[in-house]
Amino acid sequence: MPEMPEVQGLTAFLTERAVGRTIIRTSVGAIAALKTYDPPNTALHGAVITAATRRGKFIVLSCGDDLHLVFHLAKAGWLRWYETLPATPIKPGKSPIAVRVGLDDESGFDLTEAGTKKSLAVYVVRDPEEVPGIARLGPDPLDESFTREVFGGLLQGRRTQIKGLLRDQGVIAGIGNAYSDEILHAARMSPYAIADKLGDEEIDRLYAAMRTTLTDAVEAASGKPPADLKDAKRRGMQVHARRGETCPVCGDTIRSVFFADRSMEYCPTCQTGGKPLADRRLSRLLK
């Protein structure tokens, strides 16, 4: 799933390559991906892209103040850029292309989604706050106003596991499964730690790990075209998606806990006092 660093990388690329260009056409390949109808997607035709910004994991392409193309890549979506957009028409339901956007210099991009579970979402709105997912976003963890005190205040009274809290977009915007694994490993903290039970030193450590991990990942994504961002993300992972490999910090074996549609990775020595967490999927199979 693209998370804040990769989405920021895409936003920076679109700022450099698409801002100032005129949208000449849009094609919808997956009707279910388009979540709005007023304004219609054809309202974008002839509009000049004036800004590309990130809101959590959403990308907003603004055409002036009152027309915006907003999209969320969800779990299996991606942006495929073309210097010369293919002329082949999209066949709805026959390809992974959800939406195609063509620009006035013959370039453009496809929003694609792999797999059978379709969650990619595209909106054409007059105000980005009309998008429900944007309206409910918590603060951005790399914003200057997101201080350690603000972070500590968010944890108070939340009797929930810290892994889930970091992933909750209504609490903190932009962090998903992968970077929550990385942040907790860097903070030497169990993913099952309860948020409002953390002491001051643990909160200090977690806040520093969050800022450092995300800042480094954003820097690693900076300047890369969309085609290179996924590999850059994989190379930067210390524990996520590295089950069975050696922890680069302590040398222990990285473990996984599986859930219905995802897994989390962690290092027992670094994070859980050397104790492996119960693998719930395996436990069910053994019953």
pLDDT of residue 146: 98
Q: For residues 242 and 255, give the distance between their C-alpha atoms in angstroms, rounded to a whole number.
A: 8
Encode burial over 99-138: b for 16+ CB neighbours within 10 A, e otherwise.
bbbbbeeebbbbbbbeeeebebbbbbbeebeebebbeebb
Check 2, 96, 141, 268 and give the catalytic one. 2
Question: Is residue 167 annotated as a catalytic residue, yes or no?
Answer: no
Whether residue 152 sits in one domain with residue 99: no
Whether residue 121 sits in one domain with residue 166: no
For residue 136, is it within any domain?
no
Question: Is residue 233 annotated as a catalytic residue, yes or no?
Answer: no
Q: Is the dihedral of CA 249, 254, 256, 261 positive or negative?
A: positive
Residue holding tokens 């054409």?
124
What CATH number corresponds to the domain at position 163? 1.10.8.50
Q: How many domains does the chain have?
A: 2
pLDDT of residue 280: 62
Whether residue 190 sits in one domain with residue 125: no
pLDDT of residue 281: 55
Check 3, 6, 113, 182 and give the catalytic one. 3
Which residues constitute the domain of residue 228?
148-284
Question: Is residue 262 annotated as a catalytic residue, yes or no?
Answer: yes
Check 17, 54, 55, 57 and give the catalytic one. 57
For residue 110, is it within any domain?
yes
pLDDT of residue 287: 36
pLDDT of residue 93: 76
Tell which of 130, 161, 177 closes a domain: 130
Whether residue 170 sits in one domain with residue 117: no
For residue 137, is it within any domain?
no
Whether residue 177 sits in one domain with residue 86: no
Check 117, 262, 275, 281 and give the catalytic one. 262
Q: What is the mean pLDDT of each run of 10 residues along the chain (287 residues)?
A: 94 98 96 96 98 98 98 96 94 88 98 89 98 98 97 97 97 97 98 97 98 97 94 95 97 92 93 89 43
